[in-house]
Amino acid sequence: MPKAGFIVVRVCFLVLAASMLGLAMLAPPAAGQTSTCSSTTKCFFAVNVAPSNPTAGASNSFTFTIQNEASPQQLGAVQISAPAGFMITGASVAPGAPGTASFTSSSALFQDLSLAPGASTTLTVSATVSCGSGSYQWGIAAKQSNNFNGSGNDFQLDPKSNNNLSGTATGTCTQSPPCPSGTTCSASASSSTTGDSVTVTTSSPVPQGDVVVAGIEGTGTGVSYSCPTYTSSPDVFSFAAFDANGVPQSIPLIVTVRIDKSVVSMSGHPGASSWQICYASTTPFNANAVSGTYTPASDPAAATIGGVAYNTGLLLGCSTTQGTPPCVQSQNKNNAGDVLVTFLAFGDPFGHP
């Protein structure tokens, strides 16, 4: 995961008489009145976007800080267009600020902003970022009209803000082809530095068009969080199921993480049973609270990934939760000496061993 309208702007003229010459002049706008933006009377706005390095293959929350640099014109509406491969899943105006928000999978429209000269507002767009770590650029347009309607009232983007609309996705991920109706889907990803890997499979058939994404966020990608008392692998795995519109789905997933033998031997805990899953999700979950590892998203110390606060903690075994996800299903070693940890999960979370 526009109403038509227009503003009629009136301009007042004042005729002055001199001893030998009559002059017609454009008077400044009266109180409560605005001039029209035009090709000769340009209105500018500035924008800053965060984050500029979102997580590939995952849902991210982007904040667009808009400042009206025009005077005396107000800025009425903004339209934000998604980069290629992105899917917009939500849009909102800052709490308490004027304005309304609506969206499609490719754009978000903010109306009735009534942003005064010199004032700023914050607009939020949630979007699923496509797999791959290539560069991207948002599209943006603004109008004086509160309904984003009409011609001759376009605001111009401040040239200094051009680079603020671009960024580069971090991490690597793979995506399954769109699933045929009534089948299961799977995807996998691996780390080029540690040799660790993750495989994600839906545990039941899914609707046609759904896809499964598996990703790995190594050190330096900006995706970092921890669970107290637990020392873990540097790799963070992302995994999710999305519908055809890019909206995360609460489909049960079977996630198998393979920790390479070399990582296991250097970890100081060679036994498979000592490996746990440090889980991060926007949805609260039952965690190993006995050891004090659970941090709710409401806590000031909560992990923030892609601009979103996450609940974090070590997962319990499925025997303790009676098989209700998220939970660890098994921990064992393969013949090569790698540790395999399989757990059940929902939604669009992260995890690392």
Strands 120-128 and 87-93: antiparallel
Q: Which residues contact 126 (CB under 8 A, 6 or more apart)?
A: 1, 59, 60, 61, 62, 88, 89, 90, 91
| CA gap 18, 21 in Å, rounded | 5
Residue-level pLDDT at 332:
95
Kindly report the number of other CB atoms within 10 A of residue 19's CB atom.
4
User: For the structural domain made of 13-168, what CATH number should be given?
Assistant: 2.60.40.2230
Q: What is the pTM of this model?
A: 0.73
| CA gap 320, 186 in Å, rounded | 27
**Domain extents in the chain:** 13-168, 172-352
CA angle 50, 55, 59 (to 5 degrees): 85
Residue-level pLDDT at 40:
63
| CA gap 326, 273 in Å, rounded | 18
Residue-level pLDDT at 221:
62
Residues of the chain with pLDDT under 70: 1-35, 38-40, 132-133, 218-222, 231-232, 288-292, 347-348, 350-353
- Note the residue count of the chain: 353
| CA gap 304, 81 in Å, rounded | 25
